[in-house]
């Protein structure tokens, strides 16, 4: 039996948002529309094998998302919003139903699909559940759309812990800031790392036609299967996308001026240490756990593992030029180097 003190979690998945964002992360801007994925049936004998390979490479692992959500507590609400009659969506039904996900049907009302139907329906359901289920402690929104900023803020004002999950490159930084915690899909445990280069290579490698010997038929070309390439340091980062246009709802945003994740993380650490020192002595040693909490409060999307570090301590050790780390005592302590405390 679930104890009354246990955390109770509501998981809300904007299915189209995460599937389309993942496909375009690997295959380029507007690739989902260009390849006609919405109505593409990979089980058809007449389907384009190249598009099938692209779609397979961009398959979203919802089991990893649900497992991550369950780490916060007992899942009492588990919903995914989409038009499940669409072939690409229908292919996920067995996976989702095996995890007891409530498949909320969004009927197509226009020639361009459900438009903002998922955003509105999801937001309405969350607000209703916030008042209908007073014991709901966590709200997890699987989407990167800036339309959910107000929903995240409202949920926080009503005392819930808000977690966002989105795809790098298609996530609003304002949405990440509105959450208590934000995770990149690629950084979730169990997600196989697939680079855009590897995914493209699987479908763009030319087939060399060899001239067959006299009297023999040319061999049938082989269709490349999905390829995955593990990478030790993921170079993707969250990029602002403050709104979608009606004409291109899932356009990728323009890159920000400074999008290097290592530089961003260093500046975030310096700001967190400056704030910690401002509350006390400028030379005071700070607890590393408190510093990490401060960094996550300032930027809920911060996570040291996608940067290539096994632990937060390893991350801090790599920033020796801006911070001193003391590991001799019972607690790990850190302070900003005087030359780095310049108010940058």
Q: For residue 14, give both structure tokens.
A: 């904007």
* Pair 21, 154 in one domain: yes
Q: Cβ contacts of residue 229 below 8 Å, gap of 6+? A: 193, 194, 195, 197, 198
Q: Cβ contacts of residue 319 below 8 Å, gap of 6+? A: 266, 269
Hey, how many other C-beta atoms are within 10 angstroms of the C-beta on 125? 18
Per-residue pLDDT band for 39 (boundaries 50, 70, 90) equals: confident
* Pair 25, 137 in one domain: yes
Domain stops at, among 135, 162, 187 = 187
The answer to which of 16-20, 51-55, 187-191 has the lowest mean pLDDT is 187-191
Give the structural domain span for 297: 261-340
pLDDT tens by residue, 297-315: 888 889 998 899 999 999 9
In the chain, DSSP finds a helix count (H) and a strand count (E) of 13, 9
* Pair 160, 289 in one domain: no
* Pair 286, 146 in one domain: no
Tell me, yes or no, whether 54 lies in a domain: yes
Q: What is the pLDDT of residue 114?
A: 52
- Burial classification of residue 106, based on how many CB atoms lie within 10 Å of its CB (0-12 exposed, 13-18 middle, 19 or more buried): buried
Tell me, yes or no, whether 37 lies in a domain: yes
Mean pLDDT of 9-23: 95
Per-residue pLDDT band for 280 (boundaries 50, 70, 90) equals: confident
Tell me, yes or no, whether 80 lies in a domain: yes
Q: For residue 320, give both structure tokens.
A: 């020796």
CATH number (domain holding residue 297): 3.30.420.610
* Pair 65, 178 in one domain: yes
* Pair 155, 18 in one domain: yes
Per-residue pLDDT band for 244 (boundaries 50, 70, 90) equals: very low
Mean pLDDT of 283-290: 88
Domain stops at, among 160, 187, 214 = 187
The mean pLDDT value of the chain amounts to 80
pLDDT tens by residue, 118-148: 899 999 999 999 999 999 999 999 999 999 9
CA–centroid distance for 114 within its chain: 22
* Pair 48, 180 in one domain: yes
Tell me, yes or no, whether 159 lies in a domain: yes
Per-residue pLDDT band for 334 (boundaries 50, 70, 90) equals: very high
CATH number (domain holding residue 77): 3.40.50.1010
* Pair 183, 265 in one domain: no
Distance in angstroms (rounded) separating the CA atoms of residues 274 and 305: 23
Higher confidence at residue 30 or residue 258?
Answer: 30
- Give the DSSP letter of residue 148: G
Question: Would you say 9 and 72 are in contact if contact means Cβ atoms under 8 Å apart?
Answer: yes
* Pair 168, 21 in one domain: yes
Length of the chain: 344
Tell me, yes or no, whether 223 lies in a domain: no
Give CA torsion, residues 278, 289, 285, 267, to 10 deg. Answer: -60
Tell me, yes or no, whether 94 lies in a domain: yes
pLDDT tens by residue, 150-183: 999 999 999 999 999 999 888 899 999 999 999 9
Distance in angstroms (rounded) separating the CA atoms of residues 319 and 268: 12
Distance in angstroms (rounded) separating the CA atoms of residues 97 and 228: 26
- Burial classification of residue 110, based on how many CB atoms lie within 10 Å of its CB (0-12 exposed, 13-18 middle, 19 or more buried): exposed
- Give the DSSP letter of residue 71: T
Domain stops at, among 155, 187, 219 = 187
Tell me, yes or no, whether 15 lies in a domain: yes
> What is the helix (H) or strand (E) element at residue 321, kind and residue range?
none
Domain count, the chain: 2
Q: What is the pLDDT of residue 282?
A: 63
Tell me, yes or no, whether 71 lies in a domain: yes
């Amino acid at each position: 039996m679930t104890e009354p003190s246990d955390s109770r979690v509501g998981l809300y998945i904007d299915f189209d948002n995460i599937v389309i964002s993942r496909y375009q992360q690997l295959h380029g801007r507007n690739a989902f529309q260009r390849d006609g994925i919405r109505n593409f049936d990979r089980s058809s004998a007449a389907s384009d094998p190249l598009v099938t390979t692209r779609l397979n490479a961009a398959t979203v692992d919802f089991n990893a998302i649900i497992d991550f959500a369950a780490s916060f507590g007992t899942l009492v609400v588990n919903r995914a919003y989409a038009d499940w009659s669409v072939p690409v969506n229908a292919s996920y039904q067995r996976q989702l139903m095996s995890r007891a996900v409530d498949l909320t049907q969004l009927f197509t009302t226009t020639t361009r699909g459900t438009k903002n139907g998922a955003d509105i329906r999801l937001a309405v359901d969350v607000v209703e559940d916030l008042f209908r289920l007073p014991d709901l402690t966590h709200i997890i929104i699987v989407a990167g759309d800036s339309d959910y900023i107000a929903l995240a803020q409202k949920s926080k004002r009503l005392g819930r812990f808000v977690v966002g999950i989105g795809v790098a490159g298609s996530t609003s930084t304002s949405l990440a800031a509105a959450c208590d915690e934000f995770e990149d899909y690629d950084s979730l445990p169990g997600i196989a790392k697939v680079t855009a280069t590897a995914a493209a290579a699987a479908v763009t490698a030319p087939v060399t036609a060899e001239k067959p010997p006299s009297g023999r038929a040319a061999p049938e070309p082989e269709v490349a299967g999905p390829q995955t390439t593990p990478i030790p340091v993921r170079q993707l980062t969250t990029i602002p996308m403050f709104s979608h246009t009606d004409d291109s709802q899932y356009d990728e945003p323009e890159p920000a001026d400074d999008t290097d994740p290592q530089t961003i993380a260093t500046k975030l650490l310096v700001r967190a240490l400056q704030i910690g020192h401002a509350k006390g002595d400028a030379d005071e040693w700070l607890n590393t756990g408190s510093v990490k909490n401060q960094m996550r409060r300032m930027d809920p999307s911060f996570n040291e593992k996608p940067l290539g570090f096994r632990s937060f301590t390893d991350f801090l050790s790599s920033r020796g030029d801006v911070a001193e780390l003391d590991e001799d005592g019972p607690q790990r302590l850190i302070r900003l180097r005087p030359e780095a405390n310049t108010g940058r």
